[in-house]
Amino acid sequence: MIKAEAPYTTQLQAGLGMIPETLDLLRLWEPGMIPARLAEKVIQDGLFSRTTARRARNLTVEMFAPRYLADQGEVASRLKFLQANRFTHEGMIQLCFLYTARAQRIFADFVVEVYWSKYSGGAAVVTRKDAESFVHRALDSGRMVIRWSESTVRRVSGYLLGCCADFGLVADSGRSERTIQRFSIRPEVALYLAHDLHFAGVSDSAIMQHRDWLLFGFEPGEVLNCLKTLSHDGHFLVQSSGELVQISWKYRSIHDCLNALTQR
């Protein structure tokens, strides 16, 4: 889950979305492998043969580790299992999007506050100026540990747009004006997210309100409707009355859920 009030950093520069590299690193990583050892193996095996050793380390330690190796690599273990058991490629990309946003609060807030605001307002594009304005507002509200220079503001604004392009929220046009694309959560990802929150100890009613859904443009009522639709496949039973929501969960662990997701 996204940590409240996490400071904004420039860490996106380590690799933006880096989807192909993430999938390669998941194949190489093994449970118990710490970031430094993974970086060594990346270099030894020549996984990224067109990059320098320093770049390979940055991709592993600054990009991959914060997103997927927290909590003793639990996330990497889950994604590695899904990857090896024919989980959809599109679903893997959206899970990478989710974990990138959780690790990089600046990206999460940009998606929620700028992308979805533009999308719901019927805008056709998101611009570099939109991104720079967002970063300046963050500076003025003290979201950074130290105040960034204007050159850093410009660079990070580019990273935000580039990361959105990597995950398919906007067109990968390479210009300062990016066309907004339709972006909707896949059913298998919605099932994963609901169970992830449940097994993290979030109450049924609080799941409806959780900020992670905003990354996919969902307000609480839309979350409820989504889960009711998904319940038709027998993964859980949703009952609601007013603001009270109760879910009868079928699986006893997140790993039971993962097994079910790979058998759909």
Per-residue pLDDT at 49 exceeds 90 = no
> Contact at 8 Å (CB) between 33 and 68?
no
* 53 confidence band (pLDDT: 50, 70, 90): confident
- Percentage of residues in the chain having pLDDT higher than 70: 98
Q: Name which residue leads in pLDDT, 15 or 161.
A: 161
Tokens 């300046």 locate to 136
Predicted local distance difference test score (pLDDT) of residue 242: 78
End-to-end C-alpha distance for the chain, whole angstroms: 25
Predicted local distance difference test score (pLDDT) of residue 51: 75
Predicted local distance difference test score (pLDDT) of residue 173: 79
Distance CA 98, CA 101 (A): 5
Report the amino acid identity of residue 86. R
* 2 confidence band (pLDDT: 50, 70, 90): very low
Distance CA 177, CA 101 (A): 22
Predicted local distance difference test score (pLDDT) of residue 241: 86
* 1 confidence band (pLDDT: 50, 70, 90): very low
pTM of the prediction?
0.93
Enumerate the domain spans of the chain.
Answer: 11-103, 105-179, 187-261
**3-class secondary structure, 180:** strand
Tokens 């066309």 locate to 179
Per-residue pLDDT at 52 exceeds 90 = no
Average pLDDT for residues 127-147, to the nearest whole number?
94
Tens of pLDDT, residues 158-191: 999 999 999 999 998 767 889 999 999 999 999 9
Picking from 47-61, 93-107, 121-135, which range would have the lowest pLDDT averaged per residue?
Answer: 47-61
Helices of type H across 59-179: 65-68, 70-84, 89-103, 105-110, 116-120, 128-140, 150-166
**CA angle 24–26–32, rounded 5-degree value:** 140
Nearby residues of 22 by Cβ (< 8 Å), 6 or more positions away? 63, 64, 67, 68, 96
Greatest mean pLDDT range, 37-41, 99-103, 172-176: 99-103
Q: Name which residue leads in pLDDT, 54 or 135.
A: 135
Distance CA 234, CA 209 (A): 23
* 14 confidence band (pLDDT: 50, 70, 90): confident
Tens of pLDDT, residues 211-253: 999 999 999 999 999 999 999 989 999 999 877 899 999 999 9
Report the amino acid identity of residue 162. G
Average pLDDT for residues 152-157, to the nearest whole number?
95
- Percentage of residues in the chain having pLDDT higher than 90: 80
Predicted local distance difference test score (pLDDT) of residue 3: 46
Decide: residue 88, CB within 10 A, 0-12 exposed, 13-18 middle, 19+ buried: middle
